Chains A and B, each alone.
Chain A
């Protein structure tokens, strides 16, 4: 690995000015489970690595059923699924946090890091999209907010500009009679990259689905919101037939490639199956 300078920023302002001064030559270090590998293998280069784990806003989270969850960008995955209140309020998030790598990875890796790595196959992003989360970004011009489904722009790339960093991910308060789920298909039992990932969130009202959201991974250059399939759910009964039709619509929004993890046709098939299963589990959790 090429050597670099290391700086542990103590505040957001310090991180922003370090990143603004060095631009592309500076890289952010959160859990390190992606960036250290990428620097070692020459996939990304840095003259300066800015460790953000000493910044309080980035390493803490706050959950209040009335105002929602503010999840610091570098909070490690294990803290999410070990907090029973957070896991119960945002089950799709806990599902994803529990299957990103193994325990060793979950001790360090964060949801914010998963977002900023911006892999098309990122496990947490479909869950974040389904849950309607937004990214809180700090930069030289102050704070701004971007919906998660607009954060990634192409494989490995996102909307962060020079000097900007992801501070936290904001989740709306858990709605009554709502439920969510994330699942993926991998050929192994654990420890693999998704062939396809699907996240679903549903809110029930008066015996039917009031609204729903479906997020997909590994079927396009970025994780994405299956818009048509999501809209279709409103007003429908929480039935196998509804979920099957939503799966069909989700397939239409997918544009997968063929690669070592699977051919495009197979991925399209998986989109239908996983969307249906994610919705069924979300509905079960919503008490439908």
Chain B
């Protein structure tokens, strides 16, 4: 086993310290060291987006970030999307619109869609489809996902 490195970071608003080997990805650290299993390992090579988290506010594939790179960063995972026990409008719309089947891609879609709507509250369907192209779903055919994001956008801008 390699030497363990000490990392201090902020995850979902809380300061977190952990030990990891240099070779461990942020995804491995989140899941195996910190027990945050929301982010999923799909392809583990940056194609599928199932491991998407926000890194300093930007969506990244956590399988393509080393755990040690999280030093001093601010990370948000799908676990931090619901607020005070209430689902985020995106989560609610995914549920109500049945925008998932097996569910493995869902956390990544939720995080990427949240980043998109935070940046473009009035995103068009085309924008949603383009910006979510880094998230793959092998069940739904995408249409219900896109419609759920559009529905959430509507609710969030009317709220």
- Asked if A108 CB lies within 8 Å of chain B CBs, one says yes
- Quick check: which of A36-44, A194-202, A275-283 contacts chain B, the rest being far away? A36-44
A32 & B65 in contact (Cβ 8 Å cutoff): yes
Residues of B within 8 A of A37 (CB): 45-46, 64
B23 & A1 in contact (Cβ 8 Å cutoff): yes
The verdict on A107 contacting B2 (CB below 8 Å), with A29-B66, A33-B46, A101-B46 known, is no
Question: How far, in angstroms, from A191 to B129 measured CA to CA in the complex?
Answer: 12
Shortest C-beta distance, B112 to chain A (Å), equals: 7
Q: Using a CB-CB cutoff of 8 Å, which residues 35-78 of chain B contact chain A?
A: 44-47, 49, 52, 55, 58-61, 63-66, 68-69
- Asked if A284 CB lies within 8 Å of chain B CBs, one says no
A3 & B23 in contact (Cβ 8 Å cutoff): yes
Question: How far, in angstroms, from A108 to B134 measured CA to CA in the complex?
Answer: 13
Question: How far, in angstroms, from A105 to B131 measured CA to CA in the complex?
Answer: 11
Residues of B within 8 A of A51 (CB): 68-69
Q: Using a CB-CB cutoff of 8 Å, which residues 1-26 of chain B contact chain A?
A: 1-3, 5, 21-23, 25
- Asked if A63 CB lies within 8 Å of chain B CBs, one says no
Residues of A within 8 A of B65 (CB): 32, 36, 108
Question: How far, in angstroms, from A88 to B93 measured CA to CA in the complex?
Answer: 38
* A-B pairs with beta carbons under 8 A, tally: 87
Residues of A within 8 A of B133 (CB): 102-103, 189-191
Q: Could you tell me how many residues of chain A have their Cβ less than 8 Å away from some Cβ of chain B?
A: 29
Shortest C-beta distance, A237 to chain B (Å), equals: 35
Residues of B within 8 A of A4 (CB): 2, 22-23
B21 & A32 in contact (Cβ 8 Å cutoff): no
Shortest C-beta distance, B55 to chain A (Å), equals: 7
A78 & B58 in contact (Cβ 8 Å cutoff): yes
B52 & A104 in contact (Cβ 8 Å cutoff): yes
The verdict on A104 contacting B22 (CB below 8 Å), with A32-B65, A33-B46, A36-B66 known, is no
B69 & A104 in contact (Cβ 8 Å cutoff): no
- Asked if B135 CB lies within 8 Å of chain A CBs, one says yes
B2 & A33 in contact (Cβ 8 Å cutoff): no
The answer, among B1, B44, B49, B132, for a CB contact under 8 Å with A40, is B44
Interface size class of B (residues with CB under 8 A): 20 to 34
Shortest C-beta distance, A38 to chain B (Å), equals: 10
- The secondary structure that dominates the A interface is loop
B134 & A6 in contact (Cβ 8 Å cutoff): no
Q: Using a CB-CB cutoff of 8 Å, which residues 149-206 of chain A contact chain B?
A: 189-191
Residues of B within 8 A of A6 (CB): 5, 22, 66, 68
B134 & A102 in contact (Cβ 8 Å cutoff): yes
Closest to B129 in A: A189
B135 & A102 in contact (Cβ 8 Å cutoff): yes
B21 & A3 in contact (Cβ 8 Å cutoff): yes
The verdict on A191 contacting B68 (CB below 8 Å), with A104-B60, A104-B61 known, is no
Q: Which of B131, B134, B135 has the most CB of A within 10 A?
A: B134
B45 & A41 in contact (Cβ 8 Å cutoff): yes
Interface residues of B, Cβ cutoff 8 Å to A: 1-3, 5, 21-23, 25, 44-47, 49, 52, 55, 58-61, 63-66, 68-69, 112, 115-116, 130-135
Interface residues of A, Cβ cutoff 8 Å to B: 1-6, 29, 31-33, 36-37, 39-41, 49, 51, 53, 78, 101-105, 107-108, 189-191
- Interchain residue pairs with CB less than 8 A apart (19): A3-B2, A4-B22, A4-B23, A5-B3, A5-B22, A6-B22, A6-B68, A31-B64, A33-B46, A37-B45, A37-B46, A40-B45, A49-B22, A101-B134, A103-B112, A103-B116, A104-B59, A104-B64, A108-B61
Known: A31-B64, A104-B49, A105-B134. 7 other contacts (CB 8 A): A1-B23, A3-B21, A5-B22, A29-B69, A37-B46, A103-B131, A104-B134
